């Protein structure tokens, strides 16, 4: 039988920086604009994930990660300008994702920062897109770099960040079950982690 | 199972960073610390937000006169403010969001500028602190303390901080602009104050220092340069560069440990060692008139130097024995002396001589014959410039005969003896702006690394302000 991934094993699966239910910091605060709430949280998820990915860049190389893997039989593809699905090395793929997200966060017409400026009508669908791509980055790190995270003693931190991300995605319907589970022939590794955490009751809901 | 507790998928994993580059560990540490900080702030913010809402809801509930419609609008208003605040958090404030009007002050680690926020024209004072210089001088703990006091304070006696941010070279503190200048500049201009004027400024300082203490901080560096004058002529304290929060982990050791855990090494600490040692040589410790003039001429230069002036620092701070908030009352005594006499009690030609005089204050505290002081004024100074165990505390100070007639409760709302005449919001006539143009620029620092940035973690700040001044 294939070996169970480290992140699903004890004690790592329970490791957490933030104990308890994420509901309290995920929920929309009363009277607050939902767009602002989602925007600032996506901004923070991006910043925090970027920070951790920055730690792992020397392990996530063209040689070590020739594909954007997230499970034993799952490699994500990038859609290029010609609308073709292409396989990219993980560092290239992630670089594209992070640059793309950064550009949007910096774009005042997508994430407005001036006072009195409204969010565009397309904002909810943009955020869903961003969420989906960030989920892939998380999925790759769990699948390919979890041992390094353990060596660096960062698993409580990274677990909490991901659990928070999942709880937030569930609360605001950004998370698609098919994205986190994958298909039966090529399941997403972290799909099982999501199930485990749901069972442990840390994802709120 | 034997032993009982471990699940059967329990893994013993051998952790090792052999083969990892030198960069990775400090970076991982930095990422961890940032995330810890992030969640701490997120939880605090959620609690505070909730408190604001519950408080408003409660207030509205007991209000019999307001219509339900208006109540609803007030709640929506709060939501709007909270939303605006969230937007502000996303906004990366930087130097380009502020336009410099003039350099109005110079300090050890950079300058202070009068600035206007470009989008709304609001006026602020912006203090720049050179990161590299602060690291070299072991001032990290201090800058954290400064940010924390300013950020926590909602006191009329303490300069308000609105934003702080950083780039690879500088830290930036954006705070309220006090157009009246500082007490040092006033003393340079007027030489001495009458006892009535001194009483006013010292009484205000008593309340201001007490406010700092009540926040749980010791200022440690109270001097005329840090006593600022607002548009109505009242006093506010700034510059908590040296203040220590005794209920917090602001000691240098804390940052030292951070560094060590991140890099596995301890930076050399010569600056610290030399700062704490006091050499004692027998030299001439009395001042001639001429020397006093020289001291005055150099006063401002001293304020711009990295070492700063020790003139107002209590002797126990120079000793390794530890000290408490009494040290701030010593400083007040030294300032009172200067207001009345024209120079501080232990001023000397060199900072080294000043140290010595302070350490042997019993022999060197002397009131010159040619200055006439009331008995009460001299007694006030003598009961502040004295050993820590005999120094007056706040209740004693407030009851001291020198302050006879002071109404402590209404002090801040009476007319100040000197009210700045301002022609505009950006009037800088109370600042030595011409002199400042001569002061050379700091040498720019080199780019940051993970360990260095770690030291400035949690520095970035944006104030949630109900009065919505920050927006
Ligand atoms: N909020 C402010 N409004 C107006 N002027 C200010 C303000 N803050 C500082 N200044 C001016 O700038 C001068 C220097 O500021 P400050 O003493 O805070 O910095 P510093 O000298 O670098 O601190 P340190 O004592 O740690 O060296 C003050 O004496 C004052 O004249």
Percent of chain A that is helix, strand, coil (3-state, to 5):
55, 5, 40
**Mean pLDDT across A87-100:** 94
Query: Over its length of 471 residues, how does chain B's per-residue pLDDT go in tens digits?
Result: 455 677 778 888 899 999 998 888 888 888 888 888 888 888 878 888 898 899 999 999 999 999 999 999 999 999 999 998 899 888 878 888 899 999 998 877 778 999 999 888 899 999 988 877 777 665 555 555 555 555 555 688 988 888 888 887 888 888 999 999 999 989 988 889 999 999 999 999 999 999 888 877 788 889 998 899 999 999 999 866 544 433 233 344 444 444 444 444 333 332 332 222 222 222 334 556 677 777 677 766 666 555 567 899 899 888 867 788 899 999 999 999 999 999 999 988 888 888 889 999 999 999 998 888 999 999 999 999 999 999 999 999 999 999 999 999 999 999 999 999 999 999 998 988 877 666 554 444 444 455 555 555 556 665 555 443 333
Rounded to 10 degrees, the C-alpha dihedral B403/B408/B414/B418 comes to: 50
At B455 the pLDDT is 55
Q: A164 near A25, Cβ under 8 Å? A: yes
pLDDT at B199: 96
Q: Please enumerate residues of B whose Cβ is less than 8 A from a Cβ of A.
A: 6-7, 9-11, 13, 15-17, 20-21, 23-25, 27-28, 30-32, 34-36, 38-39, 42-43, 46, 49-50, 53, 75-76, 78-80, 82-84, 86-87, 89-91, 119, 471
Q: So what's the pLDDT on residue B391?
A: 97
Give residue A115's pLDDT. 77
* Chain A residue with Cα closest to B262: A152
Q: With a 6 A CB cut-off, is B182 part of the ligand 1 pocket?
A: yes
Nearest-atom index, ligand 1, CA of B304: 21
B217-218/B244-245 β-pairing = antiparallel
Of B32, B36, B84, the CB nearest to A115: B84
Q: Hey, what are B441's tokens?
A: 């620029």
User: Residue B177: CB within 6 Å of ligand 1?
Assistant: yes
C-beta of B228 in contact with ligand 1 (< 6 A):
yes
Structure tokens belonging to residue B240: 């908590």
pLDDT at B247: 29
Among the partner-chain residues B9, B21, B89, the one whose CB lies closest to the CB of A10 is B9
Ligand 1: distance of its center to the CA of B243 in Å? Answer: 14
Say what the pLDDT of residue B88 is: 84
Residue pLDDT, tens place only, A125-183: 999 999 999 999 999 999 999 999 999 999 999 999 999 999 999 999 999 999 999 99
What integer pLDDT is reported at residue A125 of this predicted model? 96
| Among B43, B51, B83, the residue to mutate for chain A (most A Cβ within 10 A) | B83
Q: Which atom of ligand 1 is nearest to the CA of B236?
A: 1
Sequence length of chain B is 471
Residues B310/B220, Cβ–Cβ less than 8 Å: no
Q: How far is B94 from chain A (nearest CA, A)?
A: 13
Rounded to whole angstroms, the Cα distance separating A13 from A27 reads: 24
Which residue puts its alpha carbon closest to atom 1 of ligand 1? B177
Q: Is the peptide bond before A103 cis (omega within 30 degrees of 0)?
A: no
Instruction: Give the whole-angstrom CA distance, residue A159 versus residue B173.
Output: 34
Nearest CA in chain A to B43: A25
Ligand 1 site, residue B205, Cβ cutoff 6 A: no
Judging contacts by C-beta atoms under 8 Å, the chain A residues touching residue B78 are 31
Q: What is the pLDDT of residue B255?
A: 40
Q: Which residue has the tokens 């937030």?
A: A168
DSSP string, B405-468: T--TTTGGGSPPS-----SSTT--TTS-HHHHHHSPPPPPPPPP-HHHHHHTTT--EE---TT-
CA atoms within 13 A on the CB side of B261: 15
Residues 6+ apart with CB under 8 A from B317: B220, B323, B327
pLDDT at residue A121 above 70?
A: yes
Of A8, A58, A115, the CB nearest to B21: A58
In angstroms, what CA-CA distances link B49 with A39, B42, B369, B470? 17, 10, 60, 17
- Find which of B27, B34, B163 to mutate to test the A interface (most A CBs within 10 Å of its CB): B27
Ligand 1 centroid from CA B306, angstroms:
13
Beta-carbon contacts of B298 under 8 Å, excluding residues fewer than 6 positions away, are none
Angle CA(B88)–CA(A170)–CA(B43) in degrees, nearest 5? 45
Tell me phi and psi for residue B114, to 5 degrees: -85, 125
Average confidence (pLDDT) over A112-119: 88
Distance (Å) from CA B139 to ligand 1 centroid: 16
Higher-confidence residue of A95 and B220: namely A95
The Cα B439–Cα B102 span in angstroms is 13
Cα–Cα nearest to B172, from B96, B227, B118, B248: B96
Burial (Cβ within 10 Å: 0-12, 13-18, ≥19) of residue A120: middle
Helices (H) and strands (E) in chain A, counts: 7, 4
Write down the pLDDT at residue B300. Answer: 67
Give me the catalytic one of B182, B221, B353, B453.
B221
**Ligand 1: which residue has its CA nearest to atom 23?**
B107
Q: Is B221 annotated in the active site?
A: yes
| Strand, coil or helix: B217 | strand
Task: Find where tokens 């925090």 sit.
Answer: A48
Which H or E run contains A86?
A: strand A85-86
Question: What are the chain B neighbours of A17 within 8 Å (beta carbons)?
Answer: 35-36, 39
What are A31's two structure tokens?
């009277």
Q: Residue range A31-44: average pLDDT?
A: 96
For residue B287, report the distance from its CA to the centre of ligand 1, in Å: 29
Give A134's DSSP letter. H
Q: Are the C-beta atoms of residues A48 and A161 closer than 8 Å to each other?
A: yes
Q: Which atom of ligand 1 is nearest to the CA of B225?
A: 29
Whole-number Å distance, alpha carbon B226 to ligand 1 midpoint, is 6
């Amino acid at each position: 039988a294939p070996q169970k991934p480290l992140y699903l094993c004890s004690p790592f699966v329970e490791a957490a920086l933030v104990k308890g239910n994420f509901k309290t910091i995920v929920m929309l605060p009363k009277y607050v604009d939902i767009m602002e709430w989602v925007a600032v949280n996506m901004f923070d998820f991006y910043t925090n994930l970027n920070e951790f990915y920055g730690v792992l860049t020397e392990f996530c190389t063209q040689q070590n990660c020739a594909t954007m893997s997230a499970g034993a039989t799952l490699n994500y593809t990038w859609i290029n300008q010609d609308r073709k699905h292409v396989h990219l090395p993980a560092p290239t793929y992630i670089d594209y994702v992070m640059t793309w997200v950064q550009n949007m966060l910096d774009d005042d017409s997508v994430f407005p920062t001036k006072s009195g400026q409204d969010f565009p009508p397309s904002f909810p669908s943009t955020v869903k897109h961003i969420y989906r791509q960030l989920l892939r980055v998380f999925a790759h790190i769990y699948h390919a770099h979890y041992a390094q995270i353990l060596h660096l003693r960062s698993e409580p931190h990274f677990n909490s960040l991901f659990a928070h991300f999942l709880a937030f995605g569930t609360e605001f319907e950004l998370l698609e079950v098919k994205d986190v589970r994958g298909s039966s022939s090529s399941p997403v590794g972290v799909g099982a982690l999501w199930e485990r955490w749901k069972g442990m009751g840390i994802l709120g809901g | 199972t034997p032993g009982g507790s471990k699940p059967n998928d329990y893994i013993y994993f051998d952790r090792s960073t052999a083969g990892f580059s030198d960069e990775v560990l400090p970076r991982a540490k930095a990422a961890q610390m940032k995330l810890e900080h992030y969640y701490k702030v997120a939880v605090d913010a959620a609690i505070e937000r909730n408190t604001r809402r519950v408080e408003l809801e409660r207030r509205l509930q007991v209000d019999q006169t307001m219509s339900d419609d208006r109540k609803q609008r007030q709640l929506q208003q709060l939501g709007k403010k909270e939303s605006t605040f969230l937007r502000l958090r996303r906004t990366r404030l930087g130097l380009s969001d502020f336009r410099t009007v003039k350099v109005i002050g110079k300090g050890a680690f950079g300058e202070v500028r009068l600035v206007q926020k470009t989008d709304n024209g609001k006026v602020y004072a912006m203090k720049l602190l050179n990161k590299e210089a602060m690291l070299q001088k072991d001032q990290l703990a201090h800058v954290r303390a400064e940010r924390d006091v300013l950020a926590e304070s909602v006191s009329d006696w303490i300069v308000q901080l609105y934003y702080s941010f950083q780039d690879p070279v500088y830290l930036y503190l954006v705070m309220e602009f006090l157009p009246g200048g500082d007490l040092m500049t006033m003393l340079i201009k007027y030489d001495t104050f009458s006892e009535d004027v001194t009483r006013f400024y010292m009484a205000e300082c008593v309340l201001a220092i007490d406010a700092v203490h009540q926040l749980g901080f010791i200022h440690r560096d109270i001097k005329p340069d840090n006593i600022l004058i607002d548009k109505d002529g009242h006093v506010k304290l700034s510059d908590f560069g040296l203040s220590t929060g005794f209920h917090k982990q602001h000691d240098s050791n804390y940052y030292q440990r951070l560094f060590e855990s991140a890099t596995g090494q301890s930076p050399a600490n010569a600056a610290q060692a030399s700062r704490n040692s006091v050499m004692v040589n027998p030299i001439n410790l009395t001042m001639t008139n001429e020397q006093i003039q020289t001291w005055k001429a150099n006063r401002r230069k001293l304020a711009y130097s990295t070492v700063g002036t020790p003139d107002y620092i209590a002797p126990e701070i120079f000793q390794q024995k530890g000290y408490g908030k009494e040290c701030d009352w010593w400083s007040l005594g030294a300032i009172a002396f200067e207001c009345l006499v024209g120079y501080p009690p232990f001023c000397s030609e060199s900072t080294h001589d000043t140290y010595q005089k302070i350490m042997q204050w019993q022999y060197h505290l002397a009131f010159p014959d040619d200055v006439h002081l009331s008995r009460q004024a001299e007694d006030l100074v003598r009961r502040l410039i004295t050993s820590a165990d005999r120094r007056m505390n706040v209740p004693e100070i407030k009851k001291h005969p020198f302050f006879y007639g002071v109404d402590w409760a209404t002090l801040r709302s009476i007319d100040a003896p000197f009210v700045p005449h301002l022609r505009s919001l950006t009037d800088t006539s109370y600042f030595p702006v011409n002199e400042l143009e001569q002061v050379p620029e700091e040498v720019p620092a080199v780019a940051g690394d993970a360990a260095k940035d770690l030291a400035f973690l949690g520095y970035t700040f944006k104030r949630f302000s109900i009065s919505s001044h920050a927006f």
